[in-house]
Structure 1
């Protein structure tokens, strides 16, 4: 098939585009042209690159025409963030494209009430990002149920992989957390340490998209959680990470008020956004309908990312990795 990937030079596309090429598809990547994939792969030589400013063309009402003009059999949209943009693309592709796949997020669900969270048991989303992604997923499901465009939405957890910083043990991107763990220094943790985060390796997300393309009929009108087989809580994540450096984590529970007083505002806010949701999701639906089989446990995915950052001198730690 001819598959158009929108935003294929990012985290997921780095692994997805080569997968699609290896499967035998003709792949066209639409991106702003300001970034190459995070890791090199020979398959990119076979990919047609189209440079476009999605945001501007959405505003002009021309982006759907650009995508339709490429005559795709399937479209994978990795960078759609508003219901308005998603609806415009659906309306333009209806009747012309066989399958539209959308990348959502586990933040389409709010703070957890019951674990693990299935596609139908999550609480209502909070925050504009999650609210918009939930609205998009619902619109896509209704579109297919009403006999319109065949659509599928896939909802990754916290994506990790080589080339970028992972969400760390405190639910933020603060590099000081990694230094403290690598040095065996005391680490203040907000709450009691059982708050959960559900990571996923970017290649496992790519696998899910690839399988959804292959199993179009099973994926039609469906939404899927796409995460690692298990989730990490703050305490376990920190202890595992300290062990990578031959250290034992020294964790000091503090109140959120205390944590906010001693942490940069952007890192404290990121911690709150991740940890008060405390999410753990089930992938049973994706396993059953798509054959989704993630290769990475969350700690293995994070370790790969941390090792890459250290090797490329983008993360300062107190000692070498022992793992």
Structure 2
């Protein structure tokens, strides 16, 4: 098939585009052209690159035309964040493309009431990002149910992979957390320490998108949660991470008020956004309908990222990894 990937040079596309090429598809990548994929792969030499500024073309009402002119059999949209943008693309591709696969987010669900969360049992989203992702997923489902464009939405957890910082044990990108754990120092933990985060390796997300394209009939009109087989809580994540450096985690519970007083605002806010949701999700639907089979447990995915960051001197712990 001819597969157009929108935003294929990012976290997911780094692994997805080579997968599609290896599967024999003709692949066209639309991106701003401002960066290359996080990992080199020979398959990129077989990919046609199209440079476009989606935000600007969305404002001008021309982006859908650009995609349609490529005459795709399938479109994978990895960088759509508003209902207006998604709706415009759907209306332009209706009758022009065979399948639209959208990248959503587990944040389409709000703070967990019952675990694990399925596609149908999450609470209403909180925050504009999650609200928009939920609205897009619902619109896509209705579009296909009404006989329009065949669509699918996939909703990854916290994406991890070599080349970028993972969401850390306190639910943020704060590098100081890694230093504290690697030094065996006391780590101040807001809340109870049992709040959950559900990571997923970028290649496992890519696998799910590839399977959605290949199993179009099973994926038609459906939404899927794409995460690792298990989730980590704060306490367990910190203990595992400290062990990578030969240390034992020393955790000190503090109130959120105290945590905010000693943490940079951007990191404190990120911690709150991740931890107050405390999400653990099920992948049973994706396993059953798509054959989704993630290779990575969350700690293995995070360790791969941390190892890459240390090797490229983008993370400087107090001591070396011992694993």
TM-score by length of 2: 1.00
Structure 2 regions of 5+ residues with no counterpart?
none
Displacement of 1:234 in angstroms is 0.1
Q: In the alignment, is residue 212 of structure 1 matched against residue 212 of structure 2?
A: yes
Partner of 2:222 in structure 1? Answer: 222
- Residue of structure 1 in register with 2:115 after alignment: 115
Task: Give the secondary-structure state (helix, strand or coil) at the position aligned to 1:135.
Answer: helix
Once residues 114 and 50 of structure 2 are traced to their aligned partners in structure 1, the CA distance between those partners, rounded to angstroms, is 43
Shift of 1:316: 1.0
Q: Could you list the per-position Cα deviations for residues 187-228 of structure 1 after superposition, in whole angstroms to 9, with x for gaps in the alignment?
A: 000011000000000000000000000000000000000000
Cα deviation per residue 1:94-151 (whole Å; 9 max; x = unaligned)?
A: 0010000000000000000000000000000000000000000000000000000000
- The CA deviation at 1:296 is 0.2
Q: Could you say which residue in structure 2 is the equivalent of 1:306?
A: 306
Q: Which ranges in structure 1 are unaligned for 5 or more consecutive residues?
A: none
- In the TM superposition, what whole-angstrom CA distance separates every residue of 1:9-65 from its partner, at most 9, and x where no partner exists? 000000000000000000000000000000000000000000000000000000000
CA distance in 1, matches of 2:192, 2:99: 45
Match of residue 175 from structure 1: 175
Pairing 1:42–2:48 present: no
Q: Distance in 2 between matches of 1:179 and 1:207?
A: 33
Distance 1:294 1:119 in 2: 18
Match in the other structure for 2:157: 157
Distance 2:107 2:289 in 1: 22
Match for residue 140 of structure 1?
Answer: 140
Give the TM-score, by structure 1 length. Answer: 1.00
RMSD over aligned Cα atoms: 0.2
Instruction: Output aligned runs, 1:230-245, within 5 Å.
Output: 230-245=230-245
Partner of 1:94: 94
1:241-260 CA-to-partner distances (Å, cap 9, x unmatched) read 00000000000000000100
**In the aligned structure 2, how far is the partner of 1:106 from the partner of 1:13?**
18
Q: Which residue of 1 aligns with 2:105?
A: 105
C-alpha displacement of 1:280: 0.2
Name the CA distance, whole Å, in 2 between partners of 1:54 and 1:321: 41
